[in-house]
Amino acid sequence: MDYRENYKLWLEEKSLDPKLRAELEAIADAPGEQEERFYTELEFGTAGLRGVIGAGTNRMNIYVVRRATQGLADYLKTFPGGPERGVAIAYDSRHMSDVFAKETALVLAKNGIKAYLYRTLHSVPQLSFTVLHLNCMAGVVITASHNPPEYNGYKVYWQHGGQAGPEQASEILGYIRKADYFKVKPMEEGAALESGLLNMIGEEVDEAYYTDTMSLCLNPELTEWNGADTRIVYTPLHGSGNVPVREILRRIGIKNISVVKEQEEPDGSFPTVKAPNPEDPNAFTLAFDLANKTGADLILATDPDSDRLGVAVRGRDGRFQVLTGNQIGSILIHYILSTRNEHRTLPGNGLVVRSIVSTRMADAICAYYGVELREVLTGFRFISEQIAESLETKEHTFLFGFEESYGFLSGCFSRDKDAICAAMLLAEAATVYELQGRNLYDVLQEMYAKYGFYGEAVKSYTLKGKEGLEKIAGAMRALRADKIAQFGGVRVVKSEDIQTGTITYPDGREEKCPLPKSNVLRYFTEGDGWLCVRPSGTEPKLKLYIGAKGSSEAELKAELSRLMTAADGMISELLK
């Protein structure tokens, strides 16, 4: 259907929310805006839905949420016992999150499916935990992670606690497309509660989550130590982490925690930051000020749905350094493996999992301790699949999984990245090292000396709308057609097209790629360098990842610069 017809259809719909109708009336003379809102529907994939809040099929609103939920309900009904096991639902601090969560619960109830809804905002890892803890068939989180304030989203989880996989997402999408935006109606809240189809999740589930998370402490006697005075500054960046992060740190014995007051309360406008993203050093500005006042050496930051953790540590010059996700992941792996090795609790079949775009320092640490390192495609659901497999086959003991995009997980009771658990382990590590006269910056420098100087760089190319998606698709086609032999004079020793499942060598030899097919290109260069190019799965964005190793910090920086300059020039030209 043409976007103009869709626009007219929505505008003439009698049941349309008055605020959304006013939005559409305001663009009556703006065909470009009409097209942007109606030329397509929000894509439903492995990350569910994500888009700008507003009126239209290409926006997040109650009608899009109801339709998606109806599709999920129809899909879930095909599984014996699915409606009885039900769906757990959580939401973060974003605009409309509580509204979308309740709409989700009441549409499920209308379909005879039990809905378990949190009374207050809760994090992604807590939802993942709850799906498993309550033996639900599925889960939904209303969140757009660390996107700008105008965004919201709808993430679907399955009974294993991880996000729905590609095949499931495709099947759910098939059911969604059969539903009409305006014919899906929610159940009345009172009737849903009375019938037992709407159930409010109680504090006992939070208690179970805290108990299991604390079981991952490697030094549980921390609560009894008096020698350490670890001073930590924490900011939830206006999101859902404020209660659980502070509670878990308090329970393990971390007493000296200062919270950034301006960012403490939930606020979907995120007024103190451009974007609530702990990957952005600018998000730490207020935390830096507080840390300097309190004398803290460690800053922790969580994004709105508390699945990502950002960290800043004080360097030898007294200034704070914001760590990359790769550095945080490496510190956590080093701490977990070295401590368990020291305590003689490191299993012989231990397993660490990282995404294909994450640091190779993880490989070096695992090799040192004799632990298997496995790489998976980008997306934490692939890590959760490895957890499920390790539990099923008993061939490996899952120890840790991470992505360079600030996602970390230890333990098997949650199946998505968990900033609450990661904050606990980082705080514990900081305390242990402080008693040894070191902070986390010192430990990181020791790691470089021990395992090698590894470094990475990332660049995102963000375009707009339909035209942007077409340019990105064209750039990927052009890269595939060009048999790239070198980057900045550094020879490519192996190329990998994960979409076709082909590994190619300079002499023309080919091998089969062991990873599942995905729209990703990888290049491996002489001297342990690598590059990866992939489109984002949720927005018109192309991402370039680069990794290198050097014998010194200076050599590492030079190699990263050389690779980035060459690759960036090539991609920028293709996106013109």
**Which of 73, 114, 50, 10 has its CA nearest to residue 536?**
50
Active site annotation includes 145: yes
The number of beta carbons lying within 10 Å of the beta carbon of residue 13 is 15
Q: Collect all residues with Cβ–Cβ distance below 8 Å to 21 and sequence separation of at least 6.
A: 11, 55
- Which pair of tokens denotes residue 289? 């000020």
Q: Is the dihedral of CA 461, 466, 469, 471 positive or negative?
A: negative
* Cβ pair 478, 574 in contact under 8 A: yes
Q: Which amino acid is at 288?
A: F
Map residue 524 onto helix, strand or coil: strand
Place of tokens 């504090």: 203
| Residue 11: Cβ-neighbour burial (10 angstroms; 0-12, 13-18, 19+) | middle
The number of beta carbons lying within 10 Å of the beta carbon of residue 487 is 21
* Alpha helices, H only, 394-496: 419-435, 440-451, 465-481
Q: What is the H or E stretch that residue 105 is in?
A: helix 97-110
- Which pair of tokens denotes residue 476? 């990927």
**Which of 141, 164, 137 has its CA nearest to residue 154?**
141
* Cβ pair 137, 85 in contact under 8 A: yes
Q: For residue 312, what are the CA distances in angstroms to 82, 328, 431, 454?
A: 44, 10, 15, 19
**Which of 94, 115, 405, 131 has its CA nearest to residue 240?**
94
The number of beta carbons lying within 10 Å of the beta carbon of residue 62 is 19
* Cβ pair 537, 520 in contact under 8 A: no
- Which pair of tokens denotes residue 508? 């023309």
* Cβ pair 76, 137 in contact under 8 A: yes
* DSSP output for 161-202: SSBP-HHHHHHHHHHHHHS-TTT--PPPHHHHHHHTSEEEE-
Maximum C-alpha span of the chain: 71
Q: Which amino acid is at 540?
A: P
First to last CA, the chain: 30
Of the residues 145, 338, 384, 405, only one is catalytic, namely: 145
Q: Where does 29-95 show beta strands of DSSP type E?
A: 49-52, 87-91
- Which pair of tokens denotes residue 227? 């020698």
Q: Which amino acid is at 560?
A: L
- Which pair of tokens denotes residue 501? 């499942």
Where in the sequence numbering do the catalytic residues fall? 145
